[in-house]
Amino acid sequence: MKTPPLPAALVTGACSGIGREIARRLAVRGDHALVLVSENRERLDVVAREVFAAHGTLVHPIVCDLARPESAGELHAAVRALGVDVDVLVANAGTFFFGEVADADPARANTMLQLHVVTPSLLCTRFARDMRARRRGRIMLTSSISAWRAFPGIAYYGGTKTYLRTFAAALRSELAPYGVTVTTLAPGATDTGLYDPTVVDMDRARRFGVMMDPGKVADAALRAMFSGKAECVPGAFNRFATIAMRLVPQRVIDLVRRRAPWLPVRVG
Ligand SMILES: NC(=O)c1ccc[n+]([C@@H]2O[C@H](COP(=O)([O-])OP(=O)(O)OC[C@H]3O[C@@H](n4cnc5c(N)ncnc54)[C@H](OP(=O)(O)O)[C@@H]3O)[C@@H](O)[C@H]2O)c1
């Protein structure tokens, strides 16, 4: 008798940082084929080959620029053409820039809005519909601990990550009756390529122990997602920070923003 194909786990932003670590760990688990999405074909092929060589995992690499309004529809169509059921959706792709709203490059801001708001939301609409019909599935959306407060200087980033956090919480309630779980992943500072090294002194941040290892973030994220948890803030320091952030008055945050020499002020 022919064995049915493995269901798939789709990971966006899968060729670097947290997404790559999540993809590697999903391959180790071996319960899913992988659909890995990136806009960079070369890096994607490297990760796909590495994962296949290490674990024999069936990998479908899909090259897609997720900062385009039509990308969620295209990605869903591409997955349907592969004939796989996506039982795990990890919407993780993201970008970052420092800079006040009035200084931001509108094109860069638009990319962030598409990548953090439009595309993950519409991916959820399309894939959640399939999961709801099958009455099984796991969705994880990558937000950030910056979603806990309003941070001047990263309004676009924090605002979009706040949207993702509340969107995920509402979607979780909608899908609960169908056996589909939704988890918000909210990392703190993590040692990946997200930050422009000419703006953020990564060596200093590492020396101060501020940056978390992306593998540890991925471990915590997958534990939370597969146990159906609502939210995952990896690392004790970051969990403490989310509590502290709730208590600190906004005027203190504003003062730190104006006085702290280590925070970039006008970077587009
Ligand atoms: N690092 C942190 O401190 C931190 C903290 C909180 C939250 N996060 C969140 O964690 C997620 C992963 O970030 P990371 O830290 O792992 O950084 P990263 O290594 O830079 O990963 C970001 C990923 O997003 C993908 N991406 C960016 N623009 C894209 C586009 N237009 N189309 C398709 N893919 C695109 C990149 O793929 P390409 O290589 O194809 O461009 C890359 O794989 C992001 O959502 C980020 O906001 C990170």
257 strand-pairing partners: none
Separation of alpha carbons 140 and 11, rounded Å: 9
The Cα-based distances of 206 to 17, 104, 172, 240 in angstroms read 15, 28, 35, 19
Q: Which residues of 82-98 are buried (b: 16+ CB within 10 A; e: fewer)?
A: eebbbbbbbbbbbbbbb
* Predicted pLDDT of residue 261: 58
**Burial status of residue 134 (CB atoms within 10 A of its CB: 0-12, 13-18, 19 or more):** middle
Can you list the alpha helix ranges (DSSP code H) found in 56-99? 71-82
Confirm whether 157 is a catalytic residue: yes
Closest to 175 measured CA to CA, from 134, 212, 210: 134
* Predicted pLDDT of residue 201: 84
Which residue reads 């779980």 in tokens? 181
Which domains does the chain carry? 8-259 (3.40.50.720)
Residue 262 CA to its chain's centroid (Å)? 26
Strands 137-142, 86-91: parallel, antiparallel or unpaired by DSSP?
Answer: parallel
- Active-site residue (options: 157, 163, 178, 195): 157
Q: Is the CB of 13 within 6 Å of ligand 1?
A: yes
Residue nearest atom 23 of ligand 1, based on CA coordinates? 13
Q: What is the pTM of this model?
A: 0.95
* Predicted pLDDT of residue 75: 98
Separation of alpha carbons 99 and 151, rounded Å: 11
One digit per residue, the tens of pLDDT, for the chain of length 268 reads: 666 678 999 999 999 999 999 999 999 999 999 999 999 999 999 999 999 999 999 999 999 999 999 999 999 999 999 999 999 999 999 999 999 999 999 999 999 999 999 999 999 999 999 999 999 999 999 999 999 999 999 999 999 999 999 999 999 999 999 999 999 999 999 999 999 888 888 888 888 888 999 999 999 999 999 999 999 999 999 999 999 999 999 998 888 888 765 566 554 4
Q: Is the CB of 158 within 6 Å of ligand 1?
A: no
**Burial status of residue 7 (CB atoms within 10 A of its CB: 0-12, 13-18, 19 or more):** middle
Ligand 1 centroid to residue 19 C-alpha, Å: 7
Separation of alpha carbons 139 and 4, rounded Å: 22
The Cα-based distances of 121 to 71, 110, 124 in angstroms read 11, 15, 5
Separation of alpha carbons 225 and 129, rounded Å: 19
